[in-house]
Structure formats: structure tokens, C-alpha cells
Amino acid sequence: MKGVLKSFIESEGAITEFQACETAVAWNIGEYGRNQFPVQVEDIVNWLGIRLNPVSSSALDGCLSWDSEGNATIFVSDRVSERRRRFTIAHELGHWIIQKSLGLEKPSRPLFRGVATNDFDIDEEEHLADSLAAEILMPCDEVREYCDVSEITLRTIRGLSKQFDVSRQAALRRIADVYDTSLIYLNVVPRRFRRMKSVIDVDDAIYVEPGARLIFDRGQTRLVGNTAFADVWKHDSFTCELEGIKGRLKVRFDVSSSSKPVPNVDLFSLECIPLCQQSERFLNSTRDDDSVRRRS
């Protein structure tokens, strides 16, 4: 029996998940609400005849429900941030597109949330709905027009996030998918509060691979050696050895410093070199696992 992802890709006449998402969004939505930015996602939902129902719930961000007459409703929590609310609506719209593509928009019984029936398919469908949400809110062609892969910096990430009104994490993942490239984002702080010469501590660590979920690895990620926070704070770029879930890497970071709310530095990189076999194996295995999503 085919999984949700393979069935969806075949239904769109595509080879990869990325191509299938572009095709499905173009077919179901086209340019409506997507020719101005930020994308007017609520207008799209209304135009498609889908009911949008806010709920006061912190138990879930959103869900999609069909009734037996083929009418769809998106429920979305009013207790989340505006950016999270927008992405949640787009994510549930992604479920709507998946179910239409698989011919399930008029179920014989009320259908709640997704079509998956096992844990593997549930994970695939949730990932696919995220990919569709990204294409809805950040159309591939517009992202490519906004920035060139050779010029991506922290300023680009912030600008993309503002332009499309999405979170930093969503912008990072979209760039990885559009340009088929790996990214690393760190936020670092001085180990001793406000003492600039103290050793760096990693406060946030995000690894992004194309076609994959974000990997958060604050607990294991560290800069090799006793680099002082002040040595990074004053530079525009910084090269170091990094150890974390990918093993040991040599990384060149773009640097952006801030003094609020406490001294901290954002580090962003498209450039990393594996320094051991473990790192090489991790990178290769990640690419192999995601080949069905990316390979053309």
C-alpha cells in the first residue's frame, strides 16, 4: 500500500515532493491572494469556500474537519501569535489540498484532520502539510527573486521573515528547501552574565536540511575551544569548529550582534566542512533519507 507522500506526488504528476507542492498549490490556489505580500491566507481560505472558525484552545494550534456533505472547516486557536496563526491556517490548508488531491474531499463519513492511518503516514502527512504551507506563504519563485543563494545572510533571513510574515524557523527551512542547501543557525551568549570576556555558551541551535524537519540541538552543540564571547561579538564573520548532532564541523558564520535583552550573537552559515567520518556519515544519511523528497 502506498504511503501518503508517494500517493500525493503521483497524483500531481511530479517526481519530488517539492515539485508536487508547487504544482498542487498552483492548481488549487493559483495567484489568488499570493500576488501581494504578506500572502492574504485568510482571503484564500474564504475564496475556496472553507469555513474559518477561531477557537479558544491552547491544546492544539489548529485542525481541519470535513463533514459528510464535503464542507471543510479550519479551526484555529486564538491563543497563538499572529505569525503562528498564519502558518497554522496555511498548514491546515495544506491538509485540504492533500485530501483533495487524493480524492477525499467528499468522505463517506466525517473526516477529522488527516487521511493517515498509522504513525509513519501521520508524520509524512504533517511534514507534507508544512511544505504546502511554505509554498502558499512563501512562493518558490518569489523567494528566488528576493534573494540569491550566494548572498544569503542573517539580514536576508530577517528580511524574508518580515516580507512574508513568517517565523525565523519557517524562513530558514524555506531557504534550505528552495536552494537545496544545508543551514546552521546559532544564538550564543556569554557564559557569565554580561561579562563579555567569558566563554561562549550556545543558547539556541538549529540545523536545517532540505526536505527535512528542523533539528534543534541546543543541548549537544558547542563551539570547540574556549572562545571568548567578546572575540565573536566584534566581528562580521567568524570561523570555528563546532561539535553537535552532526559530529565535528568547521563552519564559517555570518555574525549579527545585539545587546538586548542581554548581550547575544546570532550566527548563521551555509558553509560547513565535516571534520570526521561521523559528520560525513550523518550528512550523507540525511541526504539519502530525504532523496525521495528532493531527487529529480
Q: How many CB atoms lie within 10 A of CB 68?
A: 11
Q: Give the pLDDT confidence of 137-194 residue by residue, as tens digits.
A: 999 999 999 888 777 889 999 999 999 999 999 999 999 999 998 899 999 999 887 7
The CA distances from residue 116 to 92, 96, 272, in Å, are 14, 13, 37
What average pLDDT does range 209-230 have in this prediction? Answer: 90
How open is the CA angle 270-161-35, to the nearest 5 degrees?
A: 115
Q: Where are the domains of the chain?
A: 4-137, 170-294
pTM confidence score: 0.85
User: 199: which DSSP letter?
Assistant: B
Spacing of C-alpha 221 from chain mean position = 20
**How confident is the model at residue 270, as a pLDDT?**
86
For residue 287, what is its C-alpha cell? 541526504
So what's the architecture of 4-137 in CATH? Orthogonal Bundle (1.10)
Contact 41, 51 (CB under 8 A): no
Strand order in the sheet with 183-190: 215-216, 200-208, 183-190, 264-274, 247-258, 237-244, 222-223
For residue 44, what is its C-alpha cell? 484564500
Contact 136, 29 (CB under 8 A): yes
